[in-house]
């Protein structure tokens, strides 16, 4: 019998309208969003449900909006009697905070406040406009990493930022260095290089000011040891201890997201079923590219929750619940 991992998406999975059907159907979910509204000081629920999209895409708004929506979906599973016990939790970048909440290491109230600050600090660190991110498709990790090292110097650098799945790596850093690596990568056989529409060079050393600021907010938040292991983006290893979690969340801002490594680690631990809980289907797609034999469910709205509920009732679900 295989194990189950809950996985939670990060920035880029948001869309206008996310969470609205759950808000409309469950009073408990309305209360959840209204509490989040009070915490951030504006109607986060309206922004999630009605936009405008440009405002939802602002990092300082996206992060609490995604977190509260993913928590609303997780809570809706409970309200619908979908009783699945995860053996592990993992999240992609911002999603790691949601994973920690799901693993009882942090309250969602503390997490909302924390990721709102995280988003603000990341925007501030990116404000000088010197950085960017690009996706490199169809290139070996070790070759791309060497390119980044060869191009980088003390004044201009580029580094691997997201190892998403085989053949999909995000690079981050100074614009000139990214453009140079992009040219070399295309010359050396990369299928495509795509500049990303993001507000800053996330998961690079240019986020050091954000990391310095976030340290105080993380120290003030009340973390406790998790009840199930969380897989850290920084090292693709499991962590339970609250002090280690805090340190790894700080390192995460300037380190690469080892998503492919994290999924392979979970598979090595006996996980054969992944449930993506949150808006969109980004992680479902990545996991299928990492290991096509894994069972992947995606829950992001009332329909997908109902489908999962039906799969369990019809005994189609991979594990006996």
Both tokens assigned to 63: 């992060």
Q: How far apart are CA 110 and CA 290, in angstroms?
A: 33
Q: Which residues pair with 95 in a beta bridge?
A: none
Q: Which residue(s) pair with 6 in the sheet?
A: 89, 275
Q: What is the DSSP letter of 41?
A: T
Nearest by Cα to 167 from 136, 133, 195: 136
Do 232 and 96 contact (CB within 8 A), yes or no?
yes
The DSSP element (H or E) to which 189 belongs, if any, is none
Packed helices 242-252 and 95-102: angle between N→C axes, nearest 10 degrees: 170
Cα distance between residue 274 and residue 134, in whole Å: 27
E-strand ranges in 94-239 read 131-137, 158-165, 168-174, 192-195, 230-231, 238-239
**Euclidean distance between the first and the last CA atom of the chain, given in angstroms as a whole number:** 11
Torsion angle in degrees (nearest 10) through CA of 253, 269, 145, 188: -130
Rounded to the nearest 5°, which phi and psi values hold at 166? -55, 125
Which residues belong to the active site? 93, 203
């Amino acid at each position: 019998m295989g194990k189950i991992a809950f996985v939670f998406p990060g920035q880029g999975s948001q869309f206008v309208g996310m969470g609205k059907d759950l808000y409309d159907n469950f009073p408990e979910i309305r209360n959840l969003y209204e509490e989040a509204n009070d915490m951030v000081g504006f109607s986060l629920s309206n922004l999630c449900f009605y936009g405008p999209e440009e405002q939802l895409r602002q990092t300082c708004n996206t992060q609490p909006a995604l977190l509260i929506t993913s928590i609303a979906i997780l809570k809706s599973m409970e309200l619908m009697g979908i009783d699945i016990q995860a053996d592990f939790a993992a999240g992609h970048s911002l999603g790691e905070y949601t994973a920690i909440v799901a693993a009882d290491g942090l309250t969602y109230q503390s997490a909302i406040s924390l990721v709102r600050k995280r988003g603000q600090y990341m925007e501030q660190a990116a404000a000088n406009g010197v950085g960017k991110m690009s996706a490199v498709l169809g290139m070996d990790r070790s070759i791309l990493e060497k390119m980044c090292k060869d191009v980088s110097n003390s004044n201009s650098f580029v580094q691997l930022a997201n190892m998403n799945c085989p053949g999909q790596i995000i690079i981050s850093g100074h614009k000139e260095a990214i453009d140079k690596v992009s040219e070399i990568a295309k010359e050396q056989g990369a299928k495509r290089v795509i500049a990303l529409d993001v507000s800053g060079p996330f998961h690079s050393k240019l986020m050091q000011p954000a990391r310095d600021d976030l340290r105080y907010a993380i120290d003030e938040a009340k973390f406790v040891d998790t009840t199930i292991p969380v897989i850290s983006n920084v090292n693709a290893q499991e962590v339970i201890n609250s002090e280690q979690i805090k340190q790894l969340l700080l390192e995460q801002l300037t380190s690469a997201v080892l998503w492919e490594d994290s999924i392979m680690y979970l598979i090595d631990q006996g996980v054969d079923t992944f449930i993506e809980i949150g808006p969109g289907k980004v992680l479902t797609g990545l996991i299928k590219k990492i290991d096509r034999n894994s069972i992947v469910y995606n829950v992001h709205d009332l329909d997908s929750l109902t489908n999962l509920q039906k799969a369990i009732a019809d005994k189609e679900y991979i594990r006996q619940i």
